[in-house]
Amino acid sequence: WWEGDDARSVYFIGKDNIPFHTIIWPGMLLGYGGLNLPTDVPANQYVTFKGGKASASRGVGLTIGAGLEMFQADALRYALAASLPEQSDTDLSVEEIGRRINDELVATWGNLVNRVLSMVHRTCDGAVPAAGGRAPEDLALLEAVDAALVTAGSQIHRVELRAALRTGMGAAAAVNAYLNATEPWKLAKVDPERANVVLGTALAAVVGVRVALAPYLPFSTSTLDDVLGPVDSWERRELSPGSPIGKPTPLFAKVDLDVLLSDQVDG
């Protein structure tokens, strides 16, 4: 990769290493001749932990091993990605990680997936609803999800990882807002046909949001793949009407902050 014409090298560094990796190191590579220069150097600001600069050598911060004992891998990955110090220093704590998991990941994405798949099983016998007869608000939602995929893809290409995650989660929030506005659980009692269209639209939107969040949530995305089918491209695809949907299981466990904080005190 250090010589290939089509190779890209991205250097993830802290801001204190900017001079070396943007001036001295490229000069050394040029001195050897023929070696690829860095394609991008997305330097980050500092991560502080409870107000102090994180340092592995001083034991300040949270190790990956300790974090995985407290949180699910995808949940921890989400909280860290959502807190990346791309534009300014970020202060982390175990409490803040737990809060992000509960208030953002579980509340927005985890609950959305569970409510949509559960309603499909309850209302449509576990099969993909027909996609026809969509109203303007249905089409507007899917257009918003498609636009979010384009935006998130561009942000990832520019190594704006925190922003891309925010874009994906914004799309998830839009699907939740759509469900709250259309109330398919009520429609199922008075207008089953419209309820099916709404659920089919929400399911199609979930399929798209899943693509945007897949780079950050690989394990839970794999679980969702078993239910909806695999992700094979960076775009939303329509599921075949009538095809079976696997039964949903919660993707993420809510963090018990009281227990978490108690363990921190005891430790």
> pLDDT tens, 134-174?
999 999 999 999 999 999 999 999 999 999 999 999 999 99
CA separation, residue 132 to residues 62, 165, 176 (Å): 50, 31, 21
Name the domain count of the chain.
Answer: 3
Which two three-digit tokens encode residue 119?
């309603």
171 and 194, same domain (yes or no): yes
Place of tokens 């839970």: 220
34-54 residue pLDDT tens: 789 999 999 888 888 877 777
pLDDT band, very low/low/confident/very high, at 203 (cuts 50, 70, 90): very high
Q: Looking at this protein, which amino acid is placed at residue 179? A: L
pTM of the complete model: 0.90
Give φ, ψ of 231 to 5 degrees: -85, 125
Give φ, ψ of 222 to 5 degrees: -60, -40
113 and 172, same domain (yes or no): yes
| Biggest CA-to-CA distance, the chain | 75
* Residue 227 pLDDT greater than 80, yes or no: yes
154 and 60, same domain (yes or no): no
Please report the pLDDT score of residue 264 as a whole number.
Answer: 65
Of 78, 115, 111, 121, the C-alpha closest to 97 is 78
Place of tokens 């502080």: 48
Rounded Cα distance, 110 and 92, in Å: 23
pLDDT band, very low/low/confident/very high, at 22 (cuts 50, 70, 90): very high
Strands 90-92 and 47-49: parallel
Place of tokens 């793949």: 225
pLDDT band, very low/low/confident/very high, at 1 (cuts 50, 70, 90): low
Residue that terminates a domain, selected from 75, 92, 109: 92
pLDDT band, very low/low/confident/very high, at 263 (cuts 50, 70, 90): low
* Residue 266 pLDDT greater than 60, yes or no: no
217: domain range? Answer: 94-228
